[in-house]
Structure 1
């Protein structure tokens, strides 16, 4: 018997993953994250419990299924910076693009999803952990970009400032969402907020980790 092409197998896996995540999110919103069980998610998605945990080892990842993209986003922006562009400018450009696109990874997740996170101590703690992981990934990217010696504290210090800026702006998006603002209105507010927040970092980081022309 001929095996299925890898592309088809991967496509089916992705469909299964998306189905599980969609059913899980619906149940989390309807019932609350803490009250929803893996068994209920498996039944809704018509898969075995083991299938759910194979795709999502942590229950939190069923709700925050873009966590890997979130964690790597700042480091990737620095890695992709243009010649003559500093880390600060690349991150500001990437954030402005995310606001323009109203990207869920940047926080534009809608009121139901945002309330689900706010109402769950477990998810709230997980989001904090993901912010910490994102900052650490950024520190590593900055160290690589500047050729810093192992143990050099400067990339960590810069990442702490840049990560904090993104954390504050993420929280701002969540606050406005929960206050009843739609995404278009939030984007206008946050674009102005971002200009002020990133502006505060210019005196110390305007030229840090600038890529050679």
Structure 2
């Protein structure tokens, strides 16, 4: 369905506010910019800003809904017989090859990381975001496997997977912030990623690997 005029105007307003906010954050730092200043730069009211972005941190993390849902999409998109570890390995290496933004490996990702590191408010918000991602992934894994409510395995697997990808991204960010060229960082990151996912696979093995063919669901112990 074609985008209606009202929807297009709302999208354009949101994009203008986001663009103006990011420009101010980049030039002056997140903590040194007020929402009122963003509103003036975007030629809207403060109330309009909050209609689109409930908190100042949302202006910076305007893709947070996508970021939260991505791990679930990776897990749900695994091929028949593919373990969840292999799915995340494949997805991370694809992002590394294409320098996609989803793991912060894109050009300019170091600027984003530097701004987060320099702002207590953004660091706190990122911690909340990481926890939310882990919770959503664990819930998806538990649902797919019909895991018992008291089974910690989905949460443990989710934590290991997301901590691994986060640490790999942090490794790249530290070197990018130090001024190293991607031509040097990229091959080293691929080696580190291979080792990391090998460790995960040796420990987690075939946890949450979909069957090659459909199988009847198992009965949960606490089901009525």
Contact kept in structure 1, 2:139 and 2:154, CA below 8 Å: yes
Structure 1 position 100 matched with structure 2 position 109: no
Given candidates 85, 90, 94, the residue that maps to 2:87 is 90
How many angstroms does 1:155 deviate by?
Answer: 0.7
How far apart, CA to CA, are the structure 2 residues paired with 1:137 and 1:112?
27
Question: For 1:34, what is the secondary structure of its paired residue?
Answer: helix
Contact kept in structure 1, 2:30 and 2:119, CA below 8 Å: yes
TM-score, normalization by structure 2: 0.87
Q: Give structure 1 stretches of 5+ with no counterpart.
A: none
Q: Give structure 2 stretches of 5+ with no counterpart.
A: 213-224
User: How many correspondences in the alignment?
Assistant: 209
2:68 alignment partner in structure 1: 71
Larger radius of gyration: 2
Contact kept in structure 2, 1:102 and 1:183, CA below 8 Å: no
Structure 1 position 9 matched with structure 2 position 17: no
Root-mean-square deviation (Å): 1.7
Contact kept in structure 1, 2:18 and 2:59, CA below 8 Å: yes
How far apart, CA to CA, are the structure 2 residues paired with 1:185 and 1:50?
46
Question: For 1:114, what is the secondary structure of its paired residue?
Answer: helix
How far apart, CA to CA, are the structure 1 residues paired with 2:191 and 2:144?
29
Given candidates 29, 32, 38, the residue that maps to 1:35 is 32
How many angstroms does 1:84 deviate by?
Answer: 1.1
How many angstroms does 1:183 deviate by?
Answer: 4.4
How far apart, CA to CA, are the structure 2 residues paired with 1:37 and 1:67?
20
Contact kept in structure 1, 2:95 and 2:105, CA below 8 Å: no
* 1:141-197 deviation digits (Å, cap 9, x = unpaired): 110121101231111111111121112112123212211134454333322221111
Relative to 1, partners in 2 of residues 1:14 and 1:187: Cα closer, same or farther, differing over 3 Å?
Answer: farther
Relative to 1, partners in 2 of residues 1:7 and 1:172: Cα closer, same or farther, differing over 3 Å?
Answer: farther
Structure 1 position 129 matched with structure 2 position 128: yes
Contact kept in structure 2, 1:86 and 1:211, CA below 8 Å: yes
2:141 alignment partner in structure 1: 142
Question: For 1:122, what is the secondary structure of its paired residue?
Answer: helix
TM-score, normalization by structure 1: 0.91
